[in-house]
Structure 1
Amino acid sequence: MIAQTLASGVEQLGDMIASASVIVPFTGAGISTECGIPDFRSPGGLWTRNRPIPFDEFVASQDARDEAWRRRFALERTFAAARPGRGHRAIAALYRAGKVPAVITQNIDNLHQASGIAADAVIELHGNTSYARCIGCGARYELDWAKQVYDWTGHAPDCTACGEPVKTATISFGQSMPDGEMRRAAELARGCDLFLAMGSSLVVWPAAGIPTMAKQAGAKLVIVNKEPTDQDDLADLVIRHDIGDTLVKWI
Structure 2
Amino acid sequence: MADPVTSAPPSADLRPLARLVAGRGVVVLSGAGLSTESGIPDYRGETGSRRRGAPMTYQEFTGSEAARRRYWARSHAGWRTIARAEPNAGHRAVERLRRSGHVSAVITQNVDGLHRAAGTRDAVELHGGLDRVICLTCRHLSSRAELDRRLTELNGASAAPGADSQADGDAVLPDEAVAGFRVAPCLECGGVLKPDVVFFGESVPMPRVERCFDLVAAGQLLLVLGSSLTVMSGLRFVRRAAKDGTPVVIVNQGPTRGDELAAARIGLPLGPALTELADLVGESAPPA
Fold in common (TM above 0.5): yes
Q: Which runs of 5+ in 1 are unaligned?
A: none
Q: Which runs of 5+ in 2 are unaligned?
A: 1-6, 156-180, 280-288
Report the AA paired with residue 241 of structure 2. Answer: A
Structure-1 residue corresponding to 2:83: 80
**Mean alpha-carbon deviation: is it higher for 189-198 or for 154-163?**
154-163
Counterpart of 1:206 in 2: which secondary structure? Answer: helix
Structure 1 Cα separation of the partners of residues 89 and 59 of structure 2: 37
CA shift in 2, pair 1:234/1:42, >3 Å: closer
2:209 aligned residue (182, 185, 189): 182
Deviations 1:48-87 (A, max 9, x none): x232111111111111111111122212221122111111
Deviations 1:184-242 (A, max 9, x none): 11001111001101111111013211112122223211011111112112111110121
Structure 2 Cα separation of the partners of residues 144 and 113 of structure 1: 16
Deviations 1:132-187 (A, max 9, x none): 11122221122233234434274222223333210111111111212222111100
Contact 1:149–1:155 under 8 Å retained in 2: no
Question: Is 1:54 the counterpart of 2:61 in the alignment?
Answer: no
Structure-2 residue corresponding to 1:196: 223
CA shift in 2, pair 1:114/1:144, >3 Å: closer
CA shift in 2, pair 1:143/1:230, >3 Å: closer
Structure-2 residue corresponding to 1:106: 109
Counterpart of 1:75 in 2: which secondary structure? Answer: helix
Structure-1 residue corresponding to 2:272: 245
Once the two structures are TM-superposed, the CA of residue 29 in structure 1 deviates from its matched residue by 0.3
Q: Which has the larger radius of gyration?
A: 2
Structure 1 Cα separation of the partners of residues 148 and 21 of structure 2: 44
Structure-1 residue corresponding to 2:237: 210
Report the AA paired with residue 83 of structure 2. Answer: A
Structure-2 residue corresponding to 1:45: 49
Counterpart of 2:201 in 1: which secondary structure? Answer: coil
Report the AA paired with residue 147 of structure 1. Answer: D
Contact 2:45–2:254 under 8 Å retained in 1: no
- Percent identical pairs in the alignment equals 35
Structure 1 Cα separation of the partners of residues 272 and 108 of structure 2: 20
CA shift in 2, pair 1:42/1:233, >3 Å: closer
Structure 1 Cα separation of the partners of residues 146 and 31 of structure 2: 29
Structure 2 Cα separation of the partners of residues 129 and 4 of structure 1: 33
Report the AA paired with residue 231 of structure 2. Answer: V
Once the two structures are TM-superposed, the CA of residue 109 in structure 1 deviates from its matched residue by 0.4
TM-score by length of structure 2 reads: 0.79
TM-score by length of structure 1 reads: 0.90
